[in-house]
Chain A
Amino acid sequence: MRPLEIAFWAATLLPFVVTPDYLSLASQIAITALFALSLDLLLGYAGIVSLGHAAYFGFGAYVAGLLSKHYWSEPLSGLVIGAAAAGVLGYATSHVIVRFRHLALIMLTLGLGLLLAEAANSASWLTGGADGLQGVKMAPLLGFKFDLYGRTAYAYSLAVLFLLFLLARRIIHSPFGLALRGIRENALRMPAIGAPSLAHLRKVYTIAAVLAGAAGAVLTQTTSTVSLEVLSFGRSADVLVILILGGAGRLYGGIVGAIIYMVARDQLAGMNPQYWYFWIGLLLVAVVMFLPNGILGGLSALGKKAQ
């Protein structure tokens, strides 16, 4: 790992000491960062634009919640089961999705996401409907209770983020990852050099679903709540905005985007609860004008200019 990266991850431990009142927010930023990272695998590396990625996030979240409600409240096993379930869903849907490109692909992901959200709303006997799932209570994580300050929550979500980040990094730097980038650049040619496009795309789609499901499961477990909102189009759109903001295809883009967007939103909503989205809109417009290709993209371009 490069020194800058080590410094970054060391810095993620600072909130415990410097801002102990903000640990719940930090935990939700870590979860969103993981979610954005999972989307980056699709968007930044495989070139698949998904407007329905919350389907896997929400599915993992609900599985974790349902497990807890039905008396299996140990967090780590719940996390694994939730992520795996999301992976299965991702694998199943990938067979449909990866065969399309461009606008059709985007709208199909949107459509499937919306269908799942509607199904969850209708199946309110299972999901609790609009009021959310009731009776979710988590057992302590390795002996640590999920406390009011969010200490356990942040430690947990940070650890999950870091581990899955390492996994993603591994995948991206592997031959598989290179093949993905090749597919993104020119989908027609890849089979000619022996890389089976569709199989590769299905694989990355499944992996992205697993990561998203893990993020969702951690959200349920750290907040002891899950409601329809985790499957909503709003969540899918938010994570896409966050990833583009940070810069897609740069591994850290999702994390940077999540930190900037969520901290900005929290501070702005605190200052101006009724019209904060005006300032967020301004932030997005400014980033695109001055930092093309997201914050990391713009910074790297500026860095190159300085050289």
Chain B
Amino acid sequence: MLRLIAAAALIVPLAAQAQQTIKIGVLLTLSGQFADAAAQMDNGIKTYMKQHGDTVAGKKIEIIRKDVGGPAPDVAKRLAQELVVRDHVDILAGFTLTPNALAVADVSAEAKKFMVVMNAATSIIITKSPYMIRTSVTLPQVMETFGTWAATKGGLKQSYTMVTDYGPGHDAEAAFTSAFKAAGGSIVGGVRFPVANPDFSAFVQRAKDLAPQSIFIFIPGGAQPAALGKAMAERGIDKKQTKVLGSGETTAEAALKAMGENALDIITAWHYDYTMDNPLNKAFVKEFNAMHGRNPDFFSIGAYDGMHAIYETLKKTKGKTDAEAMIGAAKGLKWQSPRGPMMIDPETRDVVQDVYIRRVQKVGNDYVNVPFDKIAQVKDPAGERRKQK
């Protein structure tokens, strides 16, 4: 009896709604430690919608934003359930953090909703729902590529790894070391720092004692890259003798500003930088600056391209939002993004893109990442390995 009432309560609003709106539930960590990343993602979404309008295939796009608050899979799952059950969203998107994406994947699979991961970078996420695509990056995609590059074209034989002691740190360490060793390099040692670590001197000193040929770093954005950069300068790491390798987060704009000349010559591998020199990116950055008063970063581009993928998929399905139709249309989607050419892999549904190798140089009065090498259309290696099993 109760179930009939509940069912009736659902059908009535659905019938009343003339399905002229497509609702997208966006789950982000708008408060707490990762608030800035989420803010940049949201800015990316807003910029896309400003540039391309809020109507696709004759239907209006409505964004419902929810704050997960941090790594809280129980909250993420509940919010996703509410978005599906209460707000009747057609698409679930966003996902700053991996645990939240993993939890919502269950909802996407069970309720059959198209899901777009716009940031979370752990490889395994993509396997958790058949209706999911990713438009950001995966850690193995960048870090394994970097490891191979470092030992071959980079000409490095040794490396010492320094990563933050948490999931992405472990993944990055594993990806880089396996590829580096497979390409002939050797890892002379490694250290993991605690997650909220404020002061890196002790760790840097340990690295310096070993005098390795290169140091590989993986730390999350925020205040830490600058602190690490300074610790390296203070302890006297000479970047000509010891190459410093990192992920794009280490040399994000705020970190470069805080590190100043300490950042010179850091070599990073990443998929996007706001200084990229192509017309699409210039237009994107200009609009972003005008709307938000700051430069976009990789969080923004993940969300921007996520919206693009949604819009293009909807154009292909002519506005139909059922998950089967959408995922069918999304597989194999190719387009030119401000970051370069991109594709949604037709088999794994994961992102395929170019990985750029950059060096920090002084251009004018600023320190920026200047790309000097590129590996084209990299597929997620972990995903490829899963296919073979």
Contacts and interface: CB of A to CB of B under 8 A. Distances in A.
Direct A/B contact, Cβ within 8 angstroms: yes
Interface of A: 16-17, 20-22, 24-25, 28, 118, 121-122, 124, 129-132, 134, 148-150, 219, 223-229, 234, 269-270, 273-277
A270 to B, nearest CB: 7
Nearest to B101: A131
Q: Which of B106, B111, B168 has the most CB atoms of chain A within a 10 A radius of its CB?
A: B106
Contact of B73 (A21, A225, A277): A225
B5 interface: yes
Contacts of B106: 224-225
B78 A132 contact: no
Interface in B347-366: none
Interface of B: 2, 5-6, 9, 28, 30-31, 35, 39, 65-67, 69-75, 77-78, 81-82, 84-86, 98-99, 102-103, 106-107, 110-111, 122, 124, 165-168, 170, 194-195
Contact of B77 (A225, A270, A276): A225
A269 B5 CA distance: 29
Contacts of B107: 148
Given A225-B102, A274-B31, A24 B168 contact: no
6 closest cross-chain pairs (CB), A and B: A225-B73, A130-B167, A273-B67, A21-B86, A130-B166, A132-B99
Given A132-B102, A269-B31, 8 more contacts: A28-B75, A122-B165, A130-B99, A148-B110, A224-B106, A225-B99, A225-B106, A229-B72
26 contacts: A17-B5, A21-B85, A21-B86, A22-B86, A24-B78, A24-B81, A24-B82, A28-B74, A28-B75, A118-B194, A121-B166, A121-B195, A124-B167, A129-B166, A129-B170, A130-B71, A130-B166, A131-B99, A132-B98, A132-B102, A132-B103, A223-B77, A225-B74, A225-B77, A269-B31, A273-B31
Contacts of B110: 148
A229 B31 contact: no
Instruction: Provide the main secondary structure of the chain B interface.
Output: helix
Instruction: Provide the main secondary structure of the chain A interface.
Output: helix
B85 A130 contact: no
Contact of B102 (A21, A131, A149): A131
Contacts of A20: 6, 9
B284 to A, nearest CB: 23
Nearest to A125: B170
A261 B69 CA distance: 15
A273 B42 CA distance: 11
Nearest to B78: A24
A148 B111 contact: yes
Contacts of A225: 73-74, 77, 99, 102-103, 106
A129 B124 CA distance: 14
B16 to A, nearest CB: 16
A227 B165 contact: no
Nearest to B6: A20
A132 B78 CA distance: 16
B72 A269 contact: no
Contacts of B166: 121, 129-130
B98 A270 contact: no
A38 to B, nearest CB: 18
Contact of B167 (A131, A226, A269): A131
Contacts of A130: 71, 98-99, 166-168, 195
A235 to B, nearest CB: 9
B71 A228 contact: yes
B31 A25 contact: no
B78 A28 contact: yes
B250 to A, nearest CB: 18
Contacts of B103: 132, 223, 225
Nearest to B195: A121
A20 B2 CA distance: 10
B165 A25 contact: no
Given A17-B5, A129-B166, A150 B71 contact: no
Contacts of A226: 73
